């Protein structure tokens, strides 16, 4: 199955992102319950490997830290494909990601060494965006590019299964790994 490890924002942040998305009149919006920040994209993983990983993830400890989402970014150059909001890549977030990556590698999962660009994807766009939509997207960015949400505490990470469908992906939380009390 296709799986990844990520952070699900608290409801207050989901609501704020939902409010922001409702001003965006173009593209395919990510449903509020699917909003997340990916820490480790695992790709296709078989069940025994995922079960082994699950046991290893339960052993991970980290101190809770604050995360802030701020600033919109568009990917895809002249033909934007994705709109996301940036996560601040402070040392605690990087340290947690590094632990997750080494744990996943230890469980036999081959992770590509990509640069970490923490973000929450808000919407996806068709490559052939009509000019009207391009203009709407431009207006949305002028109004909201510098959005900054209140920081929230990260006290757990989540293992997700990704279900792909023609209507867009949905993400099913399989297990939460809270910091020990």
Q: How far is the CB of 106 from ligand 2AM (least distance, A)?
A: 19
* Nearer to ligand 2AM (CB atom), residue 70 or residue 169: 169
Closest separation between CB of residue 101 and ligand 2AM, Å? 11
Residue 41 binds ligand 2AM, judged by CB under 6 A: yes
**157 contributes a contact to ligand 2AM by CB under 6 A:** no
Nearer to ligand 2AM, 112 or 131 (CB): 112
Among 5, 8, 57, 162, binds ligand 2AM (CB under 6 A): 162
Cβ distance to ligand 2AM smaller for residue 121 or 158: 121
| Least Cβ distance, residue 128 to ligand 2AM (angstroms) | 19
Q: State in angstroms the smallest separation of the CB of 162 from ligand 2AM.
A: 5
CB nearer to ligand 2AM: pick between 139 and 149: 149
What is the C-alpha separation between 90 and 66, in angstroms, rounded?
9
Tell me which residue of 10, 56, 64 sits closest to 36, measured CA to CA: 10
Nearer to ligand 2AM, 34 or 139 (CB): 34
Candidates 24, 121, 137, 157; binder of ligand 2AM (CB under 6 A) is: 121
* Residue 166 CA, distance from chain mean position: 20
- Concatenated DSSP letters for the chain? -EEEEEEPPPHHHHHHHHHHHHT--SSEEPPGGG--EEEEEEEE--HHHHHHHHHHHTT-----EEE-EEEEEEESTTS--EEEEEEP--HHHHHHHHHHHHHHHHTT-----PPP--EEEEEE--SS--HHHHHHHHHHHHHHTT-BPPPEEE-EEEEEEEE--TT--EEEEEEEEEPP-
Site for ligand 2AM in 42-81 (CB under 6 A): none
Q: Residue numbers of the site for ligand 2AM (CB under 6 A)?
A: 4, 38, 41, 82, 121, 162, 169
């Amino acid at each position: 199955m296709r799986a990844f490890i990520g952070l699900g924002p608290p409801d207050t942040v989901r609501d704020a992102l939902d409010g922001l998305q409702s001003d965006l009149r173009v593209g395919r919006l990510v449903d509020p319950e699917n909003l997340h920040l990916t820490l480790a994209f695992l790709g296709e993983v078989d069940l025994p490997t995922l079960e082994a990983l699950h046991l290893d993830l339960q052993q991970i400890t980290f101190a809770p830290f604050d995360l802030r989402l701020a600033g919109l970014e568009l990917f895809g150059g002249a033909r934007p494909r994705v709109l996301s909001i940036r996560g601040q890549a402070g040392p605690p977030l990087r340290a947690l990601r590094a632990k997750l990556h080494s744990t996943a590698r230890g469980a036999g999962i081959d992770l590509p060494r990509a640069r970490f660009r923490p973000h929450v994807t808000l919407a996806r766009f068709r490559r052939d965006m009509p000019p009207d939509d391009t203009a709407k997207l431009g207006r949305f960015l002028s109004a909201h590019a510098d959005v900054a949400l209140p920081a929230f505490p990260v006290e757990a990470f989540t293992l997700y299964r990704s279900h792909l469908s023609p209507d867009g992906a949905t993400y099913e939380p399989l297990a939460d790994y809270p910091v020990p009390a």
